Amino acid sequence: MAHSRPITHANDHSDWPERCNYWLQSCTGSARKTKRHEDNPSALILNGHGASLRIEQGALVIRDGFTHYPQTQLRYRYWPGHPSLPTRILLLAGSGTLSFDVLSWLAAQNIPLVRVNWDGTVATVASGTGFAADPEKVRWQLDTRADMSLRCKFAAALIAEKLAASIDTLKLPWFPAERVRLAISHMESCIGVLNRKRFKTVSEIMGIEGGCASGYFQAWSAVSYEWKGIERRPIPPEWYEFKGRADHARGKGPSNRNATHPVNAILNYAYAVASAQLHIQAMAEGYDPSIGLLHETLPGRSAFILDIIEPVRPVIDAKILFMLKYHTLDPADFIIRKDGVCRLSPQFARKVATVVETILPLQPTALTRASGSKQLGGTSLRTGSACRIGSKPEVENLETK
């Protein structure tokens, strides 16, 4: 197998600009075309070094960063109130500058600004509307959290929905039926338990979710994905197959954070982009992101966002699987740090963020049913119609290479 191939031209980085340009073109080609006078439904994603945002004669002028050479710098100019304004701006790992005037301009146009670190953690979310808590919604969060019966109902419904979406993902054609039959059967049984049983603690529900997640990701080992360029730049033997979410770097225990496997690094980044958008939605609709119902409320932790992303994770997983099956990976798409942690190349990170953006357009409907759950006893939460759980995501126009 390719595991034992000798290292040849290990210091040859000529494929870096090629891969950066490949992913950049992929993102540009999949952008949705809008009709005249139609509002732009997409986010603007920036990355690289030397990015800048400033105000010139009342307009927002943006220069994207550089990630490779040669590269033509992308430039944008937006006027106040124009339909072409992006729904939000994502600043991926890199460097650059912006002014205080830019922050005021974005707030006036109700455009959130999100900064995502290279490791998939969200550095900051600056909502265009700021945060004005809705007393009724926050009271619902607090009351539900204080009442263990209501809290368990909410958690059980949330995890049941996640398991239903996980089953849909495992039914994708790339999973051999014999490899996923047991996992699907177990999740269907657990959905029945979650719908019928009256739980006394949230930890019981999390225990069910954890057992299902183990079987779910074990099934991923049956999914193959292609590599190119490994003769010139060899990869660690563990990268040829995916065995689960728990990575193990030297000197560190198993964890799904600080990923050492490319697939885990991709998933971490995708989840972070989705979390940032849900954070914006939650604040815009008046929820307190820190008050968790399924997850524990801790200082500096957006526990409610961790709650509402749970049913969305399998939908993101499906989109990432589509991407892995329709694109050939290259070692130049990833960077291995000195501690063994794997990170995405800048333009590949842009591609992953773009894929997530096709799932979660920023619309006020994303938490609508959570708003109504006050009258439903706190047992219902759905993502919006743009990310309807239980439906298979459409295959985007992905070119292969």
For 299-353, the pLDDT digits (tens) are: 878 999 999 999 999 999 999 999 999 999 999 999 998 888 899 999 999 999 9
Q: Which two tokens stand for residue 338?
A: 């000195």
Find the helix or strand (DSSP H, E) in which 167 lies. helix 148-170
Position 80 pLDDT exceeds 60? yes
Average pLDDT of span 53-71: 92
Asked if the model's pLDDT at residue 391 lies above 50, the reply is no
Tell me the CB-side half-sphere exposure of residue 342, using CA atoms within 13 A: 25
Alpha carbon distance 316, 312 (integer Å): 6
**pLDDT for position 368:** 47
Q: Given this model, what pLDDT does residue 249 score?
A: 55
Contacts of 177 (CB under 8 A, 6+ apart): none
Residues 305, 311, 314: CA angle, nearest 5 degrees: 120
The reported pTM is 0.80
Q: How many CB atoms lie within 10 A of CB 218?
A: 16
Q: Does the pLDDT of residue 396 top 50, yes or no?
A: no
- Percent of the chain exceeding pLDDT 70 equals 80
- pLDDT surpassing 60 at residue 297: yes
